[in-house]
Amino acid sequence: MSSRLRPPREADFSSPLRDDRVTARVGLWLGIAFLVAFLTGVFSHYGQDTPGWFTYPTGPVSLYRITQGIHVLAGTAAVPLLLVKLWSVYPKLFARLPWPPSRAGLVNGLERASVAVLVSSAIFQLVTGLQNMTHWYPWGFSFRSGHYAVAWVAIGSILVHVAVKLPIIRDALVLPIDAATPMPVAERDINARVADPALSRRALLRTTWAAAGLAVLATAGQSVSWLRDVSIFGVRSGDGPQGVPVNRSSVEAGVTKTALDPGWRLTLVNGSVKRQLTRAELEAMPQHTRSLPIACVEGWSAGATWTGVLMADLAALVDAPADSELFISSLDLNGTFGTSTLPPQFTANSNTLLALKVNGETLDIEHGYPCRVIAPARPGVLQTKWVTSLEVVA
Amino acid sequence: MTRGVQLGRVMFSALGVGALAYGAWLTWEIGSSQWLALGKWLAGGVIAHDLMFAPIVVVLGVIGSRLLPSFARAPVAVVVVVWGTLTVVAIPFLGRFGATASNPTLLDRPYRLSWFIGTAVVAAAVVVASFLRRRREQ
């Protein structure tokens, strides 16, 4: 090694831990984590922005709690997997670009460009996902649109990368991890000093799995209630008014006065038929109690017992059929949270309530007093709080 | 190359190119007002990793391999992977960047205390493991 300081070359990295067998095995699990996060993420996106061909299911009631909990945990587990995976191929960053230009050089350049897209989209997904989990919004783009679009870019570039590397991946996975002979690395300098690694390849893999497992354990408490005390990095302890955490507070929504106004009325509209109800009138209607989880896109969830009026009964008050689509407006005037649409299958479902109480007590203002939507299996952002009107969509 | 691998390559690349194209179209649809912000974070992540995080890890690796006694290297490496990556996951918690005064149910755990205790525990584990390995080496 020359004593003059210079940028490293690919051959300078001499650890036998940077081996295709390590890369392929960590990459396999990283790919699985991304695929799971992708599928559960697309499901979540369709729950909020449902395409015409997709009917969102009304059960099991914990459906979204489970899919979104898995989404966030798969992403969390992917952090150590991605970091170790990138560590194992870091020397490739310093590989020489082929010069002068040739056909092989073009292929190599294209492959490197696709890897750049892969790395940047993968890091983007994990960083923005983690930020969204913790309500940290330092960017100037819409989280949902950005995270969704880049999800397709990430999964697409992963698939292309697997296609390019498939022969290497297959050979690397077949070769035993602790076999003594290192795989031939064509461009690595045979005369370079081969470092004595701190760990065996097998030990590095086990350490990586442990890191992924521990990252999951440390954050899972926000979705898995019995892990609450173990999860030192859970976003929520599970405490909150009336035993339920809050995602959007009355102060953020700007409803601290309007929600408590005695002049509040629930307005029901079906074409020209219109009715207004006070909270007392809602309380006088047949009351139903349901145990339903509230589960948010951030991955946290909490079970609660809700009491209120069946959505179908409210539709009937303005002569609308039980399977009406309802447009719901909130006192919260922010577009994202201020309105939602309840598809017909949810209005008709006997688990969908306009809740007046939670866990036996009158709804706290933080949970949506005077009344809120609670439907089974749906993303929390659609469980509109501080409801002011229900309109039948023609 | 076997036929299975070839078939797999064709299948994966077709699916991948399709997904990439759809992702590009979705990004286009987001609108030009958000492209710059998206681009900054897309490029920022890879730059932060390749030009900051990874070089730091490499330098620490070189220093560790030269300065650490042989019996301490494995325990330190394990802790760097496990506790280092967990610390990266914990950044938004330790900084509590998303906390709001009006919502005390959010980020309501003693994250920094937990992190310090965790760090102390793994540091102690390194010392104990190194000590045991040294005895075995002698």
**B136 and B75 both lie in a single domain:** yes
Residue B103 shares a structural domain with residue B138:
yes
Kindly report, residue by residue over B35-93, the tens digit of the pLDDT. Answer: 999 999 999 999 999 999 999 999 999 899 899 999 999 999 999 999 999 999 999 99
pLDDT of residue A191: 47
The ipTM estimated for the assembled molecules is 0.96
Instruction: Please say if the pLDDT value at position A183 is more than 70.
Output: no
Query: Inter-chain contact B57–A87, Cβ cutoff 8 Å?
Result: yes
Q: What's the whole-number average pLDDT of chain A?
A: 92
Shared domain check, B95 and B84: yes
Q: Where in chain A is the domain with CATH 3.90.420.10?
A: 250-392
Where is pLDDT greater, at A196 or A209?
A209
Beta-carbon contacts of A279 under 8 Å, excluding residues fewer than 6 positions away, are: A264, A266, A356, A370, A371
Does one domain contain both B53 and B87?
no
Residue A60 has pLDDT above 50, yes or no: yes
Q: Are residues B36 and B13 part of one domain?
A: no
Q: How confident is the model at residue A15 (pLDDT cuts 50, 70, 90)?
A: confident
Residue A98 has a pLDDT of 76
A338: tokens are 């201020």
Residues forming CATH 1.20.950 domain(s) in chain A? 10-227
Residues B84 and B101 in one domain: yes
Q: Which fold has domain A250-392?
A: Sulfite Oxidase; Chain A, domain 2 (3.90.420)
Instruction: Please tell me whether residues B5 and B36 are part of one structural domain.
Output: no
- Out of A142, A237, A246, closest to residue B109 by CB: A237
| Out of A1-10, A134-143, A269-278, least confident range | A1-10
Domain boundary among B49, B67, B85: B67
CATH level 3 topology of A10-227: Fumarate Reductase Cytochrome B subunit (1.20.950)
**pLDDT tens track for A111-128:** 888 899 999 999 999 999
- The confidence score (pLDDT) of residue A187 equals 47
Is a pLDDT exceeding 90 seen at residue B2? no
Residue type, A132: N
Least confident of A8-22, A213-227, B94-108: A8-22
pLDDT for residue A394: 81
Express each pLDDT in A265-274 by its tens digit. Answer: 999 999 999 9
The verdict on B40 and B19 lying in the same domain is no
Of A91-100, A185-194, A203-212, A371-380, the least confident? A185-194
Distance between B50 CA and the closest CA of chain A, angstroms? 8
Closest CA to A355 of A319, A317, A305: A305
Mean pLDDT value of segment A294-310: 96
Supply the pLDDT for residue A192.
47
Tokens of A243: 């035993």
Query: Are B73 and B86 members of one domain?
Result: yes
- Total domains present in chain B: 3
- Give the integer Cα–Cα distance in Å for A219 and A208: 17
Q: Within this chain, do residues B79 and B138 fall inside the same structural domain, yes or no?
A: yes
Structure token pair of residue B17: 């190119």
Residue B129 clears pLDDT 90, i.e. is over it? yes
Task: Quote the domain boundaries for residue B57.
Answer: 32-67
Most B CBs within 10 Å: which of A160, A216, A227, A231, as the mutation test of the B interface? A160
Domain co-membership, B94 together with B137: yes
Same domain, B84 and B124: yes
Query: Distance between alpha carbon A343 and the CA centroid of its chain, in Å?
Result: 23
The residue-averaged pLDDT of A56-68 equals 96
Q: How far is A8 from chain B (nearest CA, A)?
A: 10
Per-residue pLDDT for A320 more than 80? yes
Interface test with A, best of B26, B30, B79, B89 (most A CBs within 10 A): B89
Nearest CB neighbour to A153, from listed B23, B98, B99: B23
Residues facing A362 on adjacent strands: A357
